[in-house]
Amino acid sequence: MTKVNIKNIGVFTSGGDSPGMNAAIRAVVRTGLFHDIKVTGILRGYDGMISGEFLPMERKSVANIIQRGGTVLKTARSEEFRSKEGRVKAYEQLKKNGIDALVAIGGDGTFTGANIFHEEFNIPILGLAGTIDNDLQGTDYTIGYDTAINTVIDAVDKIRDTAESHDRLFIVEVMGRDSGLIALRSGIGSGAEAILIPETKTDINALLKRLEISRKDKSSKIIIVAEGDDAGGGFEIAKIVKEKFPSIDTRVSILGHIQRGGSPSCMDRVLASRLGVAAVESLLEGRTSEMIGIVNGKIHFTPFSSAIKHNKDVNSELLKIVDILSL
């Protein structure tokens, strides 16, 4: 296959950070150098692209980062890049520094910007799915999702210890403003009595009935609720439960941003490495304006326009499992 003449690839992370982003950066840098191509790190996402915050990357630049959470290139959400003027500044900075292709690591907002940028300036861009929410079409798993759900599992296991000791009900709120995939898998994995997610309408009466049945049989109870659930977050659900069952010792735990941090799991490190290698080699093959993911264990390409704003359907089998195992 004929290779495209690319001399300098810019790599950046944008939007919310996720564990495994550093592994992806490392893979992009080392694959580029393997193919005798320069790789330039762009600090602070699109904002850094606009202001020209560029860092030449060498092998040593990415040494000892595969195990680190967060992103060594930093990240930001850029209001200026939303304007045509901001994108013109970004393109001029890329030209000035000889960057002729991009690898964007992020989620929905990152790829929305990348899609517009490619349409306006025709610069080759490929995206790596990096978000803890796992809510992008075109990949079975996103970079950071596996680590995030394991972080939730670890936290809920600890919470259950104190719930068991005090005969308490804990309502644990996890991240997921638009997607309940963190709540769904971590809820099944932690043995939650109920899981409330944005994708399905919450039946409060059914929830209260389930608690009524289980309160005599179980000394501890855990409800996992995604922050974007239609019935409200953790405190709102707790208020409803307390009104119905004032005798139940009900507590709320908001896990918050601990779900984004921490050392990435082996699964996320391998996923990020596979996607990073594929990004560089696919740019050299002439691919552009696509998100790279993994579907059924194989590298898969999805146009940015299809990957963005298309949240995944919830697996009906997992919903069935929740109902069966929460008895």
Side-chain half-sphere CA neighbours of 201 within 13 A:
2
Question: 3-class DSSP state for residue 78?
Answer: coil
Residues 309 and 137 sit within 8 Å (Cβ to Cβ):
no
Instruction: Dump strand ranges (E) for 45-107.
Output: 54-57, 101-106
| Calpha distance 114→54 (Å, rounded) | 18
Q: Which positions are annotated as active-site residues?
A: 133
Residues 19 and 69 sit within 8 Å (Cβ to Cβ):
yes
Residues 312 and 135 sit within 8 Å (Cβ to Cβ):
yes
**Strand order, beta sheet including 194-196:** 194-196, 221-226, 168-174, 249-254
Give the tokens for residue 186.
């971590």
Q: Dihedral angle at the C-alpha atoms of 271, 308, 80, 84, nearest 10 degrees?
A: 120
| Calpha distance 43→103 (Å, rounded) | 13
Contacts of 155 (CB under 8 A, 6+ apart): 172, 253, 255, 258
Residues 52 and 97 sit within 8 Å (Cβ to Cβ):
yes
Q: How far is CA 25 from CA 20, 162, 194, 282, in A?
A: 9, 39, 38, 16
Given 3-state DSSP classes, what are the helix, strand and coil percentages for the chain, each rounded to the nearest 5?
45, 20, 35
